């Protein structure tokens, strides 16, 4: 009796998991098969049918030529590299100060970061827009960069956890040898935070790469398109040609999906250590 | 030289210099706009003219008395419903994937996959899946024998469009919630379960009495994110339906953005933003209250 019940539970588990995987994979499957179909083939075949050949790259070349996707990848890469460099610097600096020193205003600083997460950032864009314009950053790559470089509370919490695990003895023995506090940050704390920084790089890269709103609002200029805004423009112009759009979707999904399969362990770690504690 | 100063002086210099730029950024791009927003909400500024005429509470009166503005919250309701379902499904999969199972990791990797995908690409992907005549969803429904469902216009029917859009959000974020729930499950000490087994607790009892209570803080956090997420939905309908058909999928934030940037009514848009912020704070307070009361027991 207990035995059969156990089997049923197991069956149910696998069954629901397989449904879950099917639901996850169904939309990408549809996009993949249609991205390789010529317009004629697309019109005559079912949208779930496999393409005649997975070697028909015409749609992809068309996307690159018509959509300017290459410059989109270039722009987003520039944004990511500059943003992350500064963001890591600021994040570790704030975490070092909050993690190693006690001072009167410490709870205020941490509280300021905490409260900031409650403010829905989309709504403050009405006012942010004016600031960006008055700084002369509208329609430049500078706009997304200044908006992304600020440290956020999740990043600070992530770094703080790591700093707490770095024994204070290390700081003390460095002090005995006469190292300045800046030197301690630079040659002890910063290097020992590398694992946290690595996770952060992955997560931030994905979130900047996927962001639509900031580039859309602050960089409408044609030449400043990033992958998301280029995809939106491309869809607008070619709205009926789903085989082309599928190819564009696939090209844009590919980098993060590849990154994901290589780095999923670190991505899981980053997501959970940022959110749970 | 910096290194020759006393550690106390160094400490002060480090604190000030290390916090200066980060706090300046925080102030410039979060708090200053928020304060500006409060000020704009009392004016009827059009977004570009130099004078910002003071109108007092008029904008707030407008928001609360104009049924067109508040009505859009009913569209956000679909995202709330789907968000709750999403959390329940995520908890289920988290519990399943924390039990003894073959291919646990592979399932975890697959179910999390949508989260890392580009939101705009996902939106268009579902635009294609939901397409009435060419769409694969209808084709699939037809193939498995649900012919009457296969004619549905998922994004073109007023009562349905928000649920279709919200299910896209479900698809994308369920795995994210699941991973967070898995992490919180792993933090529960194993000996509690051993003790329960020795006491003869069944698997359902264990789930109800041990697993779920121990997950409570994380469930609370996810519920807060679900509610505020539902209030703040923007990009999906913006990309996929542009608020259509006939405004049926327009969400509150989209209305704020339109009011500001398309209709140049910054004053009203600011008041709408403040009201949204106010709602988010209320959700947080109510939750804290409920949470603390639960903790006293």
| Span B16-44, pLDDT tens digits | 999 999 999 999 999 999 999 899 999 98
Whether residue A275 has pLDDT greater than 80: no
Vertex A142 angle, CA A138 and A144, to 5°: 85
pLDDT tens across B248-290, in order? 888 888 888 888 888 888 899 999 999 998 988 898 888 888 8
Confidence of residue A3 (pLDDT cuts 50, 70, 90): low
Identify which has the larger pLDDT, A275 or B79: B79
Helices (H) and strands (E) counted in chain B, each on its own, are: 15, 0
Q: What are the tokens at B121?
A: 């690409």
CA A100/CA A171 separation, integer angstroms = 9
CA B155/CA B47 separation, integer angstroms = 33
Residue that the structure tokens 């405004």 belong to? B247
Backbone torsions φ then ψ of B54, nearest 5 degrees: -75, 125
B253 contacts in chain A (CB < 8 Å): 120, 122-123
Predicted TM-score (pTM) of this structure:
0.88
Contacts of A77 (CB under 8 A, 6+ apart): none
Cβ-based contacts under 8 A for chains A and B: 249
- What percent of chain B has pLDDT above 70? 98
Residue that the structure tokens 């339109």 belong to? B258
Vertex A267 angle, CA A11 and A113, to 5°: 125
Whether residue A2 has pLDDT greater than 80: no
Confidence of residue A101 (pLDDT cuts 50, 70, 90): very high
Other Cβ atoms within 10 Å of B210 Cβ, number? 16
Query: Which pLDDT score is estimated for A6?
Result: 62
Contacts of B42 (CB under 8 A, 6+ apart): B54, B55, B56, B57, B59, B267
> How much is the CA Rg of chain B, to the nearest whole Å?
25
Average pLDDT rounded to a whole number, residues B134-146: 82
Average pLDDT rounded to a whole number, residues A13-24: 94
CA A205/CA A83 separation, integer angstroms = 9
Contact A249 B33 (CB under 8 A): no
CA A37/CA A242 separation, integer angstroms = 10
B117 contacts in chain A (CB < 8 Å): 210, 253, 256-257
Query: Which pLDDT score is estimated for B290?
Result: 80
Q: Is A114 in CB contact (< 8 Å) with chain B? A: no
A248 contacts in chain B (CB < 8 Å): 121
Other Cβ atoms within 10 Å of B18 Cβ, number? 23
Task: Kindly list the distances between the CA atom of residue B21 and the CA atoms of A151, A252, B170, in Å, as whole numbers in the listed order.
Answer: 10, 34, 38
Beta-ladder partners of A38: none
CA B167/CA B149 separation, integer angstroms = 17
CA B148/CA B138 separation, integer angstroms = 10
Average pLDDT rounded to a whole number, residues A186-200: 92
Backbone torsions φ then ψ of A220, nearest 5 degrees: -70, -15
> How much is the CA Rg of chain A, to the nearest whole Å?
24
- Is the N-terminal amide bond of B135 cis, ω within 30° of 0? no
Task: Kindly list the distances between the CA atom of residue A184 and the CA atoms of B1, B5, B91, in Å, as whole numbers in the listed order.
Answer: 15, 14, 43
A136-140, A178-182, B74-78, B251-255 — which one is most confidently predicted on average? Answer: A136-140
Contact B273 A13 (CB under 8 A): no
Sign of the torsion formed by the C-alpha atoms of B252, B157, B159 and B90: negative
Contact A131 B18 (CB under 8 A): no
Task: List own/partner pairs for B243-251 with CB under 8 A and 24 or more apart.
Answer: B244/B156, B244/B161, B245/B155, B245/B156, B245/B157, B245/B158, B245/B161, B246/B158, B247/B72, B248/B75, B248/B158, B248/B161, B248/B162, B249/B75, B249/B155, B249/B161, B249/B162, B249/B165, B250/B72, B250/B75, B251/B72, B251/B75, B251/B76, B251/B79
Other Cβ atoms within 10 Å of A117 Cβ, number? 13
- Best of B5, B120, B137 to disrupt the A interface (most A CBs within 10 Å) is B120
Sign of the torsion formed by the C-alpha atoms of B268, B270, B273 and B279: negative
CA B263/CA A104 separation, integer angstroms = 46
Question: How many residues make up chain B in this entry?
Answer: 297
Q: Is A183 in CB contact (< 8 Å) with chain B? A: yes
Identify which has the larger pLDDT, A209 or B154: A209
Across chain A, mean pLDDT equals 89
pLDDT tens across B195-253, in order? 888 888 887 888 888 888 888 888 888 888 888 888 888 888 888 888 778 888 888 88
Average pLDDT rounded to a whole number, residues A121-143: 88
Q: How far is B159 from chain A (nearest CA, A)?
A: 23
Q: Lowest mean pLDDT: which of A76-80, A162-166, B151-155?
A: B151-155
Helical H segments across B144-240, by residue range: 158-186, 190-198, 203-206, 212-231, 235-240
Q: How far is A238 from chain B (nearest CA, A)?
A: 12
B111 contacts in chain A (CB < 8 Å): 17, 20-21, 24
pLDDT tens across A43-83, in order? 888 878 888 888 888 889 888 888 788 899 999 999 999 99
Q: Cβ distance A149 to B25 under 8 Å?
A: yes
CA neighbor of B106 nearest in space, from A86, A25, A173: A25
Q: Cβ distance A250 to A32 under 8 Å?
A: yes
pLDDT tens across B95-120, in order? 999 888 888 999 999 999 999 999 99
Among the partner residues B10, B40, B118, nearest to A228 by beta-carbon distance: B118
Whether residue A1 has pLDDT greater than 70: no
């Amino acid at each position: 009796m207990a035995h059969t019940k156990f089997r049923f539970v197991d069956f149910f588990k696998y069954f629901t998991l397989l449904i879950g995987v099917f639901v996850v994979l169904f939309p990408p499957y549809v996009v993949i098969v249609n991205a390789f179909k010529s317009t004629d083939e697309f019109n005559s075949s079912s949208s779930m049918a496999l393409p005649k050949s997975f070697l028909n790259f015409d749609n992809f070349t068309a996307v690159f030529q018509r959509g300017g996707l290459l410059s989109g990848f270039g722009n987003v890469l520039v944004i990511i590299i500059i943003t992350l460099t500064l963001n890591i610097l600021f994040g570790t600096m704030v975490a070092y100060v909050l993690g190693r020193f006690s001072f009167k205003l410490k709870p205020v600083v941490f509280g300021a970061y905490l409260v900031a997460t409650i403010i829905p950032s989309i709504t403050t864009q009405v006012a942010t827009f004016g600031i960006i314009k008055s700084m002369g950053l509208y329609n430049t790559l500078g706009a997304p960069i200044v908006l992304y470089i600020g440290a956020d509370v999740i990043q600070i919490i992530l770094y703080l956890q790591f700093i707490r695990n770095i024994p204070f003895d290390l700081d003390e023995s460095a002090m005995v040898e006469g190292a300045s506090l800046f030197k301690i940050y630079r040659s002890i704390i910063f290097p020992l935070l590398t694992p946290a920084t690595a996770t952060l790089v992955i997560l931030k890269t994905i979130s900047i790469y996927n962001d639509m709103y900031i580039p859309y609002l602050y960089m409408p200029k044609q030449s400043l398109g990033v992958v998301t805004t280029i995809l939106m423009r491309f869809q607008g112009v070619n709205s009926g040609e789903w085989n082309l759009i599928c190819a564009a979707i696939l090209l844009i999904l590919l980098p993060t999906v590849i990154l994901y399969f290589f780095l999923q362990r670190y991505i899981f770690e980053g997501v959970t250590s940022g959110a749970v504690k | 030289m910096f290194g020759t100063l006393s550690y106390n002086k160094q400490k002060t210099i480090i604190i000030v210099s290390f916090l200066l730029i980060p706090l300046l950024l925080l102030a410039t791009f979060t708090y200053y706009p928020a304060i500006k927003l409060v000020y704009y909400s009392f004016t009827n500024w059009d977004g570009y003219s130099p004078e910002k005429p003071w109108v007092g509470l008029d904008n707030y009166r407008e928001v609360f008395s104009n049924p067109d503005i508040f009505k859009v919250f009913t569209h956000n309701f679909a995202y709330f419903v789907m968000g709750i379902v999403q959390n329940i499904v995520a908890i289920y999969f988290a519990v399943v994937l924390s039990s003894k199972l073959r291919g646990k990791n592979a399932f975890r990797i697959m179910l999390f996959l949508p989260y890392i995908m580009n939101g705009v690409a996902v939106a268009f992907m579902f635009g294609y899946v939901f397409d009435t005549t060419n769409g694969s969803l209808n084709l699939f429904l037809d193939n498995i024998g649900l012919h009457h469902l296969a004619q549905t216009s998922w994004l073109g029917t007023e009562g349905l469009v928000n649920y279709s859009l919200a299910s896209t959000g479900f698809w994308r974020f369920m795995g994210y919630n699941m991973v967070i729930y898995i992490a919180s499950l792993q933090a529960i000490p194993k000996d509690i379960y051993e003790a329960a087994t020795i006491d003869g607790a069944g698997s359902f009892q264990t789930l109800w009495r041990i697993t779920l209570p121990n997950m409570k803080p994380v469930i609370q956090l996810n519920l807060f994110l679900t509610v505020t997420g539902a209030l703040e939905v923007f990009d999906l309908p913006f990309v996929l339906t542009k608020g259509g058909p006939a405004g049926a999928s327009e969400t509150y934030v989209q209305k704020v953005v339109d009011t500001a940037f398309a209709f140049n009514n910054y004053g009203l848009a600011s008041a709408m933003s403040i009201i949204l912020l106010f709602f988010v704070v209320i959700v947080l307070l109510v939750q804290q209250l409920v949470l603390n009361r639960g903790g006293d027991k």
